Amino acid sequence: VSKYVEVKFNLLPGLEKQLDREIPLAVSKTAFFVELGAESRGRRRTGAMRAGWYRVTSKESNYDQAVDAGLGMNPDAEVVGPVPTPSDNLTAYVSNAFGHTFYNEFGTSAMPADPMARPAAEEQREPFKKRIFVALTTLGK
Amino acid sequence: MADEASLLAKWVFDTLSGDGTIAGVVVSRIYDGAAPQNPTYPYIVFTIIPLTDDQTLGARMWANFLLDVKVVSQGRSFATHSATVSRTDVLLHDKKEVSITGGKIKYSYRDMPIHFPEKASTGVDYTHQGNSFRVGVAAT
């Protein structure tokens, strides 16, 4: 019986690189679809709120475009600052650049709630799991 | 044809309106979706947000919802109705397999609290406080 194991192939570094690429991609794709889902919901009066959805990952943000597009539709809309950039590539945020969006999501004394962000995120729960599953099951392929 | 959202609305309304502590504060002012114009404060408003159904082998098991339940009041004090909010949590959180007419509440548990002030364009202050629940409803 040999005391030694000779390594002929070491696929682990390649698999690690593949995971580092595919999992953040699944996170980023999911954020994109959450943003799209939120955009497709909600009331439309001036369109600023609908145009104001944006996503932030550790590598990209379309906050500025969302602000420009929203202000183009309603120059008086109250802009709120961007959410912080995530410190890792496994996190993404979807938010809205205009302050009145929060009150639409949860309602006010004069207006019923019209949730957009939460149903859009929930809609992506299963697709996100599938994206992660595909990334894991295609490792090394 | 199943209408789980209506079953849920009835369960929420019956549960809250049948509780002495809640009724002592909001009387019968419990609204599904929207309060009437010029309402009396405080009141409870709940919002049902449909999510994707749970299914198995093509058969529907139950419908999933997010349920926002909040107390809306005039003024700036959140402390005034804190006990009422806590009571709604006791009544709706951590429920499983609750039989209702026409179906069953499969589960209900709190997802997150809701807590924010509002200053209306008229200058009047309001408080919004409550909870968001995850609820599964099966129709029979």
pLDDT at res. B58 = 79
- B68 contacts on A by Cβ (under 8 Å): 106-107, 113, 115
CA distance B25 to A25: 50
- A108 contacts on B by Cβ (under 8 Å): 118, 120, 126, 128
Distance from CA of B13 to the nearest CA of A (A): 17
DSSP A97-127: SBTHHHHHHH--SSS-----HHHHHHHTHHH
Q: Do A122 and B120 touch (CB under 8 A)?
A: no
In A, what residues contact B, Cβ < 8 A?
Answer: 102-103, 106-110, 112-113, 115, 118-119, 122-123, 125-126
ipTM of this model? Answer: 0.89
CA distance B17 to B10: 10
Task: Read off the DSSP letter of residue B58.
Answer: T
Distance from CA of B116 to the nearest CA of A (A): 9
Does position B52 have pLDDT exceeding 90, yes or no? Answer: no
CA distance B88 to B102: 23
- B132 contacts on A by Cβ (under 8 Å): 118
> Is A73:A46 a contact under the CB 8 Å cutoff?
yes
**Residue in A102, A107, A109 closest to B47 by CB:** A107
> Is B129:B88 a contact under the CB 8 Å cutoff?
no
Query: H or E segment at A131?
Result: helix A125-137
pTM value surpassing 0.90? no
Interval B118-134: pLDDT, tens: 999 899 999 999 999 99
Task: Read off the DSSP letter of residue A39.
Answer: H
Total beta-carbon pairs less than 8 A apart between chain A and chain B? 48
**Residue in A103, A106, A123 closest to B52 by CB:** A123
pLDDT at res. A67 = 98
pLDDT at res. A1 = 64
Collapsing DSSP to helix, strand or coil, B77 comes out as coil
> Is A96:A54 a contact under the CB 8 Å cutoff?
yes
- φ/ψ region of A107 (left if φ > 0, alpha if ψ in -120 to 50, else beta) reads left
Residue in this structure with the two tokens 């419990």, named with its chain if needed: B30
Q: Do B68 and A113 touch (CB under 8 A)?
A: yes
**Residue in A103, A118, A125 closest to B118 by CB:** A103
User: Tokens for B21?
Assistant: 């502590």
pLDDT at res. B1 = 56
pLDDT at res. B50 = 94
pLDDT > 70: what percent of chain A? 98
Distance from CA of A14 to the nearest CA of B (A): 37
pLDDT at res. A113 = 95
Residue A11 binned pLDDT confidence (cut-offs 50, 70, 90): confident
Burial of B1 (0-12, 13-18, 19+ CB in 10 A): exposed
Average pLDDT over residues A65-72: 96
B34 touches chain A (CB under 8 A): yes
Q: Which residues pair with B94 in a beta bridge?
A: none
Task: Read off the DSSP letter of residue A79.
Answer: B
Interval B69-127: pLDDT, tens: 999 999 999 999 999 999 999 999 999 999 999 999 999 999 999 999 999 989 999 99
Interval A41-63: pLDDT, tens: 877 777 899 999 999 999 999 99
